[in-house]
């Protein structure tokens, strides 16, 4: 049994056929070729698959695809505007906040979710904001600095 | 593999009809944070998924002297609610310390209870606060105390066809405290967690005390013996008449009794020995904070 799933992906409507047990991560990566969300654990532990659903951060690997019907899903593919990288992307780049880069999409989304709600977080709030995102390369310090730089307004247009 | 059916009803009656129709074959899906890992790793092969996120069960209200929380309310919303912080401090704290941001936005209070992990963080504060759950099925509605809801790890009194509709927390005068010890600060289940509720008459005599322990038994546990030795005690400097003093020694006695009632196990997170040691300290600290006693 396949179901039609329709939702908004980075501002554009998409329709795709899915099984009831396909997760949003399966849908994005295997059906729609949107591969910024990574499959680190499929278990909720690593945060590499974090995406925004109606502006809230969720684990794509724990979200049954059909539950996002009619909702807005945002991934790193949708962060740039008019061909220009998002301030967080530029800050991550300049602060060397990615080493292998596997955790980076999840970190960017977690950071965006935080700053959307709380544009001037304390260092502690930043650490809490990315507490669900594991980095096997240990870039935490650089990630926090990059987010601090954006919060301080250093990457405004 | 057989095709899995999926339903996303938008009315409670419709959901109850589906649950009645499919009975034991139906699996309720809320935030999916406990369920979906088990599906991904083939531990669970659902036949019919009934998603309850569109039923309007996402609310936090105050009515009839109670805080009423819809079963599909995300943990993040509970953690951020000023009403919960004011009326049920221990619950707010447990929600705040649970998991990490992206798990809290999806995970729900109903799912946390129905999943029936002995370490479920929201269960202990709800027991300490004397909360109930409202269970509904096509046949009707019943209200069960949270302390009587759990039967064992992963087992509850829920019958096939039944779902948790809401959680009701009585609003009381006393003070509630939640403390959690995990392997790390974020994203971790409790090695042990403790919730207590203490009501002090005139700030001096203990007229109500409730103690609950998590991850210390097959189910979240209410410790009635510990509560018993606190009842009626007065603060040492008090002018009130009381059976005994509510001092450091009494609080340590209560903590000891609470641990004696528990039956922790060795697992990947900690040994039973460590759980007893740490649990006792947490109970004492929580009681001291709630009663206003220095220890
Ligand atoms: C990385 C990670 C970290 C976590 N950390 C914590 C933590 O620190 N503390 C903690 O307590 N938990 C933690 N959890 C567990 C989980 O997030 C919570 O238990 C959550 O509240 C479950 O809710 P849910 O809506 O996602 O449940 P689901 O996964 O949707 O459902 C769980 C179970 O409950 C049933 N169910 C759901 N809603 C209802 C209902 N209304 N009526 C009847 N049955 C229902 C489902 O059928 C299923 O059996 C963690 C999970 C992950 C993946
Ligand atoms: S892949 Fe989703 S949290 Fe690891
Ligand atoms: S940069 Fe390699 S996992 Fe984070």
Share of chain A above pLDDT 90, in %: 96
Report domain extents, chain A: 2-76, 87-151
Place of tokens 């510990």: B226
What is chain B's mean pLDDT, rounded? 95
Chain centroid offset of residue B246 CA: 27
Name the residue facing A58 among B8, B106, B186 (closest C-beta): B106
**Separation CA A39–CA A29 (nearest Å):** 9
- In total, the C-beta contacts within 8 angstroms joining chain A to chain B are 92
Distance A113 CA to ligand 3 centre (A): 19
Token output for B293? 């006693």
Low-confidence stretches of chain B (pLDDT < 70) are 1, 238-243
Give the ligand at the shortest distance from the Cα of A138.
Answer: 3
Residue B157 phi, psi (nearest 5) = -80, 0
Ligand 2 midpoint to CA A143 (Å): 19
Architecture of the domain whose range is A2-76: Roll (3.10)
Asked if A54 is an interface residue toward chain B (Cβ–Cβ < 8 A), one would say: no
CB A51 within 8 A of CB A29: no
Q: Is A140's C-beta closer than 6 angstroms to any atom of ligand 3?
A: no
Give me the half-sphere count of Cα atoms (radius 13 Å) on the Cβ side of residue B139. 9
pLDDT in tens, B250-266: 999 999 999 999 999 99
The candidate with the shortest Cα–Cα distance to B44, out of B23, B20, B28, B21, is: B28
3-state secondary structure of B142: strand
Using a CB–CB cutoff of 8 Å, tell me whether B218 touches chain A: no
Contact A130 CB / ligand 3 (< 6 Å):
no
DSSP code of A40?
Answer: S
A33-88 pLDDT tens trace = 999 999 999 999 999 999 999 999 999 999 999 999 999 999 999 999 888 999 99
Helix then strand then coil, % of chain B, to nearest 5: 35, 25, 40
Please tell me which of the candidates A20, A43, A131 has its beta carbon nearest to residue B186: A131
Q: Does A62 touch chain B (CB under 8 A)?
A: yes
pLDDT, tens digit, 9 for 90 and up, residues A7-27? 999 999 999 999 999 999 999
Of B46, B66, B36, B61, the residue nearest B5 (C-alpha): B46
ipTM of model: 0.95
Residue B138: burial class (beta carbons within 10 Å; 0-12, 13-18, 19+) = middle
pTM, whole model, 2 decimals?
Answer: 0.96
Instruction: Give first-to-last CA distance, chain A, whole Å.
Output: 48
DSSP states along B92-115: HHHHHHSS-HHHHTT-BHHHHHHH
How much is the average pLDDT of A105-133? 97
Q: Write down the pLDDT at residue B294.
A: 85
CA distance B244 to B251: 11
Binding site membership of A39 for ligand 2 (Cβ less than 6 Å)? yes
Put simply, whether B23 touches A (Cβ < 8 Å) is no
A102 CB under 6 A from ligand 3? yes
Residue B29: φ, ψ to 5°: -115, 120
Q: Give the B window 230-269 contacts with A, CB below 8 Å.
A: none
At residue B195, the pLDDT reads 98
Nearest-Cα residue of chain A relative to residue B100: A132
B32 and A69 within 8 Å at the Cβ level: the answer is no
Q: Do B32 and A62 touch (CB under 8 A)?
A: yes
Domains and CATH numbers, chain B: 1-171 (3.30.465.10), 175-291 (3.30.390.50)
Return the CATH number of the domain spanning residue range A87-151. Answer: 1.10.150.120
Q: Which residues of B touch A113 (CB under 8 A)?
A: 101-102
């Amino acid at each position: 049994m396949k179901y039609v799933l329709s939702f908004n992906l980075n501002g554009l409507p998409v329709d795709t056929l899915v099984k009831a047990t396909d997760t949003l991560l399966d849908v994005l990566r295997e059906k729609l070729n949107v591969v910024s969300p990574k499959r680190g654990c499929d278990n909720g532990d690593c945060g590499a698959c974090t995406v925004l659903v109606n502006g809230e951060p969720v684990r794509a690997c724990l979200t049954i695809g059909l539950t996002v019907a009619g909702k807005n899903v945002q991934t790193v593919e949708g962060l740039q505007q008019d061909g220009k990288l998002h301030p967080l992307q530029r800050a991550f780049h300049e602060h060397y906040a990615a080493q292998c880069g596997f955790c980076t999409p999840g970190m960017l989304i977690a950071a965006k979710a935080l700053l959307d709600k709380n544009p001037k977080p304390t260092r502690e709030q930043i650490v809490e904001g990315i507490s669900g995102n594991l980095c096997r390369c240990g870039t935490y310090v650089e990630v926090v600095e990059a987010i601090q730089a954006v919060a301080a307004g250093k990457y405004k247009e | 593999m057989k095709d899995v059916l999926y339903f996303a009803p938008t009315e409670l009656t419709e959901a109850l009809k589906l649950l009645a129709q499919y009975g034991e074959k139906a699996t309720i899906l809320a935030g999916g944070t406990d369920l979906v890992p088990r599906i991904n790793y083939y531990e669970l092969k659902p036949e019919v998924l009934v998603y309850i996120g569109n039923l309007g069960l996402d609310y936090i209200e105050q009515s009839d002297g109670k805080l009423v929380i819809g079963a599909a309310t995300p943990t993040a919303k509970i953690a951020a609610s000023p009403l919960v912080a004011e009326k049920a401090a221990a619950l707010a704290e447990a929600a705040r310390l649970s998991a990490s941001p992206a798990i809290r936005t999806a995970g729900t209070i109903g799912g946390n209870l129905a999943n029936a992990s002995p370490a479920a963080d929201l269960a202990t504060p709800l027991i300490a606060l004397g909360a109930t759950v409202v269970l509904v099925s096509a046949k009707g509605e019943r209200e069960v105390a949270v302390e009587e809801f759990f039967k064992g790890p992963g087992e509850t009194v829920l019958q096939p066809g039944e779902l948790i509709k809401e959680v009701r927390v009585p609003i009381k005068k006393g003070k509630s405290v939640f403390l959690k010890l995990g392997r790390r600060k974020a994203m971790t289940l409790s090695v042990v967690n403790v919730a207590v509720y203490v009501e002090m008459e005139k700030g001096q005599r203990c007229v109500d005390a409730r103690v609950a322990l998590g991850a210390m038994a097959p189910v979240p546990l209410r410790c009635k013996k510990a509560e018993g030795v606190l009842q009626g005690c007065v603060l040492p400097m008090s002018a009130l008449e009381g059976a005994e003093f509510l001092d450091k020694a009494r609080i340590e006695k209560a903590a000891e009794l609470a641990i004696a009632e528990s039956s922790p196990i060795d697992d990947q997170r900690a040994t039973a020995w460590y759980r007893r040691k740490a649990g006792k300290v947490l109970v004492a600290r929580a009681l001291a904070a709630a009663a206003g006693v220095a220890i």
